[in-house]
Copies of this chain bind each other. A is one copy, B any other.
Amino acid sequence: MTSITRRRRSKGPDTRAAVEDAITDAMTRLLTSGHTFTSVSVEDLAKESGIARSTFYMHFRDKGELVRRLMKRVTQELVGATNVWFEHEHPEQRVVLHQALKSISQVYIKYQAIMLAVSETSAYDPDVAAMFKETMMHLMANMRAVLKGGQKAGWANADASPEVADALTWMVERCCLQLLTVQKPAQRERMIEALTHVMSRALYA
């Protein structure tokens, strides 16, 4: 399949990717400049991308697919950030947890336009919602695993149920989103510290 798709008949070396980058870049630009994802029409997007409206539909089924693809890019990086903690040899150290939460928040900040678009869209687009849910499930599973491992190793609180891991995961997600509405780095740091506090208290024995 790939080779067929990539046989670059006509046009430049990698037109397909180039156009799609132009579109995703345009969307990111529009979101960054204050527009809501919902408020950006396909026509707006086409204009900003410098393409015809119908061309958009040659690359994406609808606006939802655009978000889904943007999300895919971010998800990997987000999971990577969580692994700072999940796969660390010493997850029982508070500094490690704090650093992981900082990394996670940095992913949110780096891709804030996308993160906000995802949380906006997943509220009403079933496909985006499913994808978002899947990511959350993945993170919750990891969190549960760390907790279980910690309980075996003795550093984690034996009273903490798997549902505690779920609750903490949701908390981190929501708070990172809230973090984006805050500008001052000092305030952001305070919020990360608060997350560290709640998590370490809930999990550590």
Residue ranges of A at the interface with B (Cβ–Cβ < 8 Å): 36-38, 119-124, 157, 159-161, 163-164, 166-168, 170-171, 173-175, 178, 190-191, 193-195, 197-198, 201-202
Among B163, B170, B201, the residue within 8 A (CB) of A174 is B170
Partner of A197, one of B161, B174, B197: B161
Distance between Cα atoms of A36 and B195 in the complex (Å): 33
How distant is the Cα of A123 from the Cα of B128 in the complex, in angstroms? Answer: 14
A121 to B157, CA, bound (A): 38
Q: Which residue of B lies closest to A168 (CB)?
A: B198
24 sample A-B contacts, Cβ–Cβ < 8 Å, listed by A number = A36-B124, A37-B124, A119-B123, A120-B123, A120-B124, A123-B123, A123-B124, A157-B201, A163-B190, A163-B191, A163-B193, A164-B198, A166-B175, A166-B191, A167-B171, A167-B195, A168-B198, A170-B171, A170-B175, A171-B174, A173-B174, A198-B198, A198-B202, A201-B202
- Tell me the bound Cα distance from A170 to B127 in angstroms: 25
Distance, CA A163 to CA B171, complexed state (A): 12
Whether A194 and B167, one on each chain, are in contact in the complex, defined by CB atoms closer than 8 angstroms, is yes
Chain B residues closer than 8 Å to A119, beta-carbon distance: 123
Across-interface contacts of A163 in B (CB, < 8 A): 190-191, 193-194
Residues of B within 8 A of A193 (CB): 161, 163
Q: Is the CB of A178 within 8 A of B170?
A: yes
A197 touches B120 (CB 8 A): no
Smallest CB gap from A122: residue in B: B123
Residue of B with least CB distance to A36: B124
Chain B min CB distance to A147 (Å): 11
Interface centre among A159, A174, A195, A198 (most CB of B within 10 A): A198
Q: Which residue of B lies closest to A187 (CB)?
A: B163
